[in-house]
Amino acid sequence: MGDLFQETILIGIFAATIRIATPLIFAALGELITEKAGILNLGVEGTMLMAAFAGFAGSFVTGNTLAGLALAMVAGGLMAFLMVFMAATLKVEQVVTGLALNMLAAGMSLYLFKVYFETLSLPTAEVMPYLPIPVLADIPWLGPIFFQQKGLTYLAFLMVPAVWFFLYRTKWGLEIRVLGENPKVIDTKGMSVTLRQYGAVILGGVLIGIGGAFVTIGSVVRFVPDITAGRGWLALVIVIAGNWRPAGVLLAALVFAFLDALQLQIQGIGVDLPYQIFLALPYVIAIVLMVAKSRRGRSEAPARLGIPYFRGER
């Protein structure tokens, strides 16, 4: 009896870990591609929030979660467009731009929500269904943890090798990585630095947008202000903790997701500790990780992260 109870709890925690990791993986992979191109997009949180709202709105209006997802991807791409326009074309300070994007999203998502959904009492939208994978879903332990999830969750895990392949085995990936290390190499070969920055950042934004969509139409029927609740910031930390590598990003995302799942479970059981401590835990771990990392040297961080490119420079 006790064993069964424990088993259910453990499976619950692990299954929740996989689910919670989904938006983190998308957002962190999107930010990874962006940062590999040398652009520091601190607007991940805002991009996710706008996409979460767009996903909700799209699903609400059409009754189709895929339409919602498409709209969320467009929203992510648009936010990223704004970012890269400021960073690559106007060459504005990237940190400030990213922070501004977050404020813009916080205000705008709330405004649009009020304008279009105010009259309704508690509007709800379609949510993506669970897609258990036949056969695999029935494997004890592994089945309920890995194979009784939603489509986007499977996609998130497939995106990790896909992004790796893109970055390290295709010509576009090579060019993106060069942008982050030394954009002048691209320029002296007569290729457009700006064009490639736009491509990378918008692609990253679309991925971040999918992460945002999962927060609404992948999980809950409602939209509430600030529904992303810091996941975008966590994605930024995950990129650093994952040392700018797709596999590292996956690992870091799983660690943070596990801590969150644990925290939910502990709240549920009713351990005699203020739950805020557990809410803060992932961020505490993030700080510890970053301190530990900074002492270890050899980082895969792009050398020109956050530094605008000017042709005349040496």
Partner 1 sequence: MRPVLSVHEVTKKFHQVVANDRVSFDVMPGEIHCLLGENGAGKSTIAECIYGFHRPDGGTISVRSKELDLRSPSDAIRSGIGMVHQHFVLVPSMTVLENIVIGTEVATAILDMREAAERIAEICRRYNVEMDLNSRVSALTVGQQQWVEIVKALFLGAEILIMDEPTAVLTPQESRRLFAIFREMCESGMSIILISHKLDEVMQSDRVTVLRKGKKVGTVETRASSKSELTNMMVGREIDLGAPRPRGVIGSPMIELHGLCAQGDLGTPALNGMTLTVHRGEIVGIAGVAGNGQKELFETLTGVRKATDGRVVFDGKEVTNHSPRDIQKAGMGHIPDDRFSEGLVPDFDIQSNLILGAQREPAFSKMGFLRFDAIRQFARDSIEAFAIKAPSAQTACRTLSGGNAQKVIVAREFAQSTKAILANQPSRGLDIGVIEYMHGRLTDKRDENFAILIASEELDELRSLADRIVVIFKGQIVGEFRHDAVDLERIGLLMAGHTGEAAAKTSVGEA
Please state the φ and ψ torsions of residue 119, each to the nearest 5 degrees.
-65, -30
294 touches partner 1 (CB under 8 A): no
Quote the tokens at residue 310.
Answer: 């000017």
Angstrom CA distances, 110 to 117, 122, 231, stand at 10, 14, 18
129 touches partner 1 (CB under 8 A): no
186 touches partner 1 (CB under 8 A): yes
Q: Residue 67: which residues within 8 A CB-CB, separation 6 or more?
A: 58, 59, 61
Q: How far apart are CA 32 and CA 118, in angstroms?
A: 37
Could you say which of 119, 121, 134, 171 contacts partner 1 (CB under 8 A)? 171
Closest CA to 206 of 25, 96, 80, 67: 80
206 touches partner 1 (CB under 8 A): no
Of 110 and 187, the one with the shorter C-beta distance to partner 1 is: 187
Angstrom CA distances, 168 to 165, 173, 192, 239, 246, stand at 5, 6, 20, 17, 10
62 touches partner 1 (CB under 8 A): no
Binding mask 239-278 for partner 1 (x = CB under 8 A): ----------------------------------------
188 touches partner 1 (CB under 8 A): yes
189 touches partner 1 (CB under 8 A): yes
292 touches partner 1 (CB under 8 A): no
Q: What residues line the site for partner 1 (CB under 8 A)? A: 169-172, 174-175, 177-178, 181-182, 184-191, 297-298, 303, 311, 314
